[in-house]
Amino acid sequence: MVYIYLEKRDNLWISAGFTRDLKLMCSSLPSPSITRALRSLLSTLYSRRIFAVKIPSAFTKEVRLAFEKISIAKYLPSSMNGNFLSTVRRILDKLYAVWKGSRTFFSEDEISLGEVSDFAKRVLCLTIKIPRGFVTTYGDIARLLGEKKYSRAVANVLSENPIPLAIPCHRVIYFDGRLGGYSAEGGIRTKKQLLEREDVRFTLNGRVRKEY
């Protein structure tokens, strides 16, 4: 079962899904619209063949409006185990800190990648290690996996990243400094904004400068 939790930070809704043992398994980018935030999150869960979630009882109407393909049950966050609220709020704070460009790091112990393939897990676990203020390329990750020809496969995995911000796929670009794709809301424009908040600089033609 996946437990959805969401709160506002600076008038933006942050939503995330957690396993029973409070591992982060999906997230959406902050949004001024609760419906958009939930739709993005639930679409990610649906693509991972997760068809049932628990949602705080105060938000069940919004969930049904956002996405009708998933079975919804209610729960009261205050009735969960003692560290539930402190843990999920700490994770939301960290997600929002990455969104704002702060120096924040997620560890593999904080996330759950569930049923993704072994190859995808290797890609995502390498990506989570890319620090703020730096970028790497799809080809660099492919080489670390043993074969440069895996570059396209790496890009495909990152296009389906279930935990954006925690797994900072926005820090992975093409070899020539072009940004490549970004499947989260806002696309390449959002990817560029995230990198700029992390003090990554661009050339006049919009490519990441070589020193990064």
Cβ atoms of 136 and 130 closer than 8 Å:
yes
pLDDT of residue 36: 87
* pLDDT for 148 beyond 80: no
Decide if pLDDT at 211 tops 60.
Answer: yes
**Helix, strand and coil in the chain, % to nearest 5:** 40, 20, 40
Q: Catalytic residue at 169? A: yes
7-66: pLDDT as tens digits = 999 999 999 999 999 999 999 999 999 888 888 898 888 888 888 899 888 886 666 655
Q: Cβ(19)–Cβ(113) under 8 Å?
A: no
pLDDT digit string, tens, across residues 95-133: 999 999 999 999 999 999 987 899 999 999 999 999 999
Q: In whole angstroms, give the CA distance from residue 66 to residue 68.
A: 7
Catalytic residue among 14, 92, 111, 169: 169
From its phi and psi, is residue 199 left (phi > 0), alpha (psi between -120 and 50) or beta? left
pLDDT in tens, 151-183: 999 999 999 999 999 999 999 999 999 999 898
Task: Please provide the distance, in angstroms rounded to a whole number, between the alpha carbons at the two ends of the chain.
Answer: 40
